[in-house]
């Protein structure tokens, strides 16, 4: 049989645990504040010159990718079914990969900062976004 300590045996441990938990929370809240902001207010942290989006199991991975202005994203289809990645007709910064069969890739370059939402023309439930920062 396992014996658990009674309330009297805990003594001041509850207060110590609460203080330790509060200290960890304060430390965690202070982390991540060194991110550099560009003049447009968007963060360039985590943005790459180029990135890859894999298409598999009727989904884009990652769903949202971040690149620097002038950077490129390569879309690669790993599914047996054909897919595309394209913005709505007339959207600012519109792009389309065309039909991508299994193993096919298309590189798209993004010159201007902004958020570019896209979908698959064959499977409209497949959606993703490219965030372009300065």
CB neighbourhood size of 89 (10 A):
7
Q: Which residues of the chain have pLDDT under 50?
A: 7, 9-10, 13-41
Compute the distance between CA of residue 68 and CA of residue 70 in angstroms, rounded to an integer. Answer: 6
Tokens of 121: 């023309």
Give residue 92's pLDDT. Answer: 84
Compute the distance between CA of residue 60 and CA of residue 70 in angstroms, rounded to an integer. Answer: 22
Taken in order of first residue, the domains within the chain and their CATH numbers are 48-133 (2.60.40.420)
Q: Hey, which bits of 42-89 come out as E strands?
A: 48-55, 60-61, 64-77
Cβ contacts of residue 115 below 8 Å, gap of 6+?
129, 130, 131, 132
Compute the distance between CA of residue 55 and CA of residue 9 in angstroms, rounded to an integer. Answer: 57
Give the Å distances, CA to CA, from 120 to 31, 60, 115: 38, 9, 17
Give residue 1's pLDDT. Answer: 52
Give residue 66's pLDDT. Answer: 97
| Strand-strand pairing, 48-55 and 64-77 | parallel
Give residue 3's pLDDT. Answer: 54
């Amino acid at each position: 049989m396992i014996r658990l300590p009674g309330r009297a045996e805990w003594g001041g441990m509850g207060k110590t645990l609460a203080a330790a938990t509060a200290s960890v929370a304060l430390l965690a809240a202070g982390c991540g504040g060194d991110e550099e902001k560009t003049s447009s207010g968007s963060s360039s942290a985590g943005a790459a010159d180029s990135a890859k989006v894999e298409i598999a199991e009727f989904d884009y991975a990652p769903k949202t990718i971040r690149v620097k202005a002038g950077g490129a994203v390569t879309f690669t289809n790993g599914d047996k079914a054909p897919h595309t990645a394209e913005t709505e007709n007339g959207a600012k910064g519109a792009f389309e990969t065309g039909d991508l069969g299994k193993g096919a890739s298309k590189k798209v370059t993004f010159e201007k900062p902004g958020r570019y939402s896209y979908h698959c023309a064959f499977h409209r439930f497949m959606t993703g976004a490219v965030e372009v920062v300065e």
